[in-house]
A and B are shown apart, each in its own frame.
Chain A
Amino acid sequence: MSASGEPAVLLTGNHAVAWGARLARPQVAPVYPITPQTPVLEKLTEFQARGEFDAEILTPESEHSVMSACIPASLAGARVFTATASQGLLLMHELLHYASGARAPIVMANVNRTVASPWAFWPDQTDSLAQRDTGWIQLYVESAQEALDTVVQAFRIAEQALLPVLVNLDAFYVSHALEPVRVPSQATVDAYLPPFAPARRLDTAHPSGWGNVVTQEMYAAHRRAIEDAMAQVPALAAEADREWAAHTGRSHGVVERYRCDGAKTVVVTLGSLCGTAREAVDGLRDAGHAVGLVKVRLFRPLPAAALRAALDGVADAIVLDRNHSPGAGGVLAQELRAAFCGSAGAPRIRGCLAGVGGVNVPPERIAEWVLQTPAGHAPAPMEWMR
């Protein structure tokens, strides 16, 4: 199918997420309000009130109960969507492990917001990056359009891998900024995303269960099966994106190289900082510097092979981490160092804590950091950028 010709409308990232969810036709949507995710919830209930969205919307007393409801709903064979942010995601932590263990292909949008204490409401990705070991696939988006497209793609990836997917968008920069978005037709999405029809489900006609106590060997075998499924995800995500391009004309990649040809220095980051870094790279290129951007869209599992290829021949990788792991620095920098560990010709990886707590990062500042990167010696494990 060729690119669809829908006109662009102005949507916030949150409303784009709600449109993506609506078009994916989930059957159950438990959800609890939290700033800055609330417009997702309100748009879905508005769609439902207008008769345009017929999912069972469930509004329990906490995010913990939201995820508790999502898992058996998914195991009963329903497509399930929810959305949260920050403290809500942290409250779900126990159930995030439970969901991936149950192989429940839930899709959840998370609006990246600072983690308390102290209280704050600004863009910061520590909330989701702290969930990296929970068995959820993680994608990060930089625009409202990408948010819509990624929610739909996420269902396809989740239901093929039988693993849950977290779609992350930065607070306010993406969640609340109005941008032109092309909303695909229902027919386009229906052609792309078949109904959820798992081979096994909770069914009184064929009684079986989930959650029984297992032996050590059964537990270990189950973890290996989850790992095998994770190993398929970079290819599944790339295929889901290519197919989306065939249906809509839009592709976002798993890892995106932006103006990297011949680049000796490359900025590597996640989410809305990619948009800022594009401007910085454009300015630096205009001034004659061989600088590019690598955007990490799929963070978990980290597409290590794709990242090594994307950074082949690069001398310096400047990782911008809008998150903080005390004692270890930025999470993306740690992950990138691990991906290159033992590789010949690995770039020097400069771990920059940039924009932590929502501190503004203008493009000019990124350009300064690039130009001030000292050549030829090992960088510090982490640097607080100002």
Chain B
Amino acid sequence: MRRIFQSLATILAAFVTMAGAAPDPAWAAGERDITVAQGIDAEFLDVQMTNNIVTLIINTSIYDTLLTRDKQLQLVPALATSHRLVSEKVWEVKLRPGVTFHNGEPFDATAVKFSFERIYRADFKSPQKGWFSTIERVEIVDPHTVRFHTKVPDPAMPARMTLMYQLAPKYVAQVGDVQANLKPVGTGPFKFVEWTKNDRIIVEANDAHWSGKPAVRRATWRPIPELGARIAALQTGQADLIVNVPPDQLQTLTATRSVRVEKMPSCRIIYFGIAQIKGGALADRRVRQAINHAVDVQGILDSVLQGNGKRINSSMPPNVWGYDPSIPFYDYNPKKAKELLAAAGQTNLQLTLQAPNGRWAMDKDIAQAVAGQLTENGIKTNVKIIGEWGSYVRSVLDHKTEDIFMNGWCLPSLEPDHWVTPNLHTGEPVSQYSNLEVDKLMEQARAEMNTEKRKQLYSQLLRLIRDDAPWIFGYQQMDIYGVNNRLKWTPRGDESIRLTEIGF
């Protein structure tokens, strides 16, 4: 018996010693090293294999694009120093000289052509194929000049160039796709060091970067899916920057002195699509408008999200070019809703609303709040939570959604057409709506090269959309971050995190 106790004591002592020997709370090794904790791990470090925002954020530290957006989301040069329209369907782009990939390979026009063509290789499963579908081919004029030939006049080209990540042709050809994903090589401000799946990705500063020496020396990207653990990691100093903090957790962070909260209106909008294509009551505009009047969006924002969200008046958030602030919101007017329903002969309407669980901040809670309000105001609404994101996406893409479906939307291009066509044009996978007049306006605006005229067209289009009410117009999300006070950083409006924008 004594021996058992002795061995137990030894084991316990070992545990206690290990605990005591825990490294000091600033887990990062050096003073200018940081740790960023997001919710999931990068899917790929081959940037062309993904369209997922978290993965793109991590990849943006390793790869550059031709153009990029500054803090104010204005287009600025990156690997492309200038661009101009040579003719209606030809764009000429001048490349930055003297840039090399992390392995020493020089960056030039062949890289641009290679990177573009790789996405469209038949055996390459890239989700980015839809991003550049208007480009017919890339022409190499000289080592530092390329020309993009588009199939149709495409005013969105500069926006597309902010998504053209550049890969090293000789490296990829040499090591193959699998290795290019596991050991990425780019021209970016940070070089890849190591990747342990679901554990961490380490990158270190590329002092030879064309934008200068980064202030951050080493960065560790860590996926911490559980919100409580992520917040705890920030509080203990294990992480310096965390993302996706829901409004209800803010008081935990404000109570911790070493950290602060940063907020930024997102490019992501949350709306409740009404499946008009299902016909019946939903095909009647009056019913859809009634639905909009029956939900107190502002009230829900104020209570559930504690004011962290801004109502949208149509299908675009304020920070996308083309937004028209003069378009009116639907006021919360249950009486008007009842009148409209009566006029449409739908006094006993019963609907089902579907929402995911955990995809967006407080999604299922907001969905339940919306359904609750609709029910209170004469439209009995059932909530169906579809926890599995795959099924959720499928129901949308297969056009088999419930009557109302919650959705979030943000494309990194910030190109106005991407805010109307994919989710409202007839026949588009995400769209559960069909209106030929709206379609026509979309197509017109998409091809209009004159900026002034284009803006007017979008105003018109957005107003039309608002009046036809294919959605319950929800809100622009507020991206909330938790930051350690030793970092000097403010968020961007496009959900991205640029390590080069972090200082001390």
A-B complex is real? no
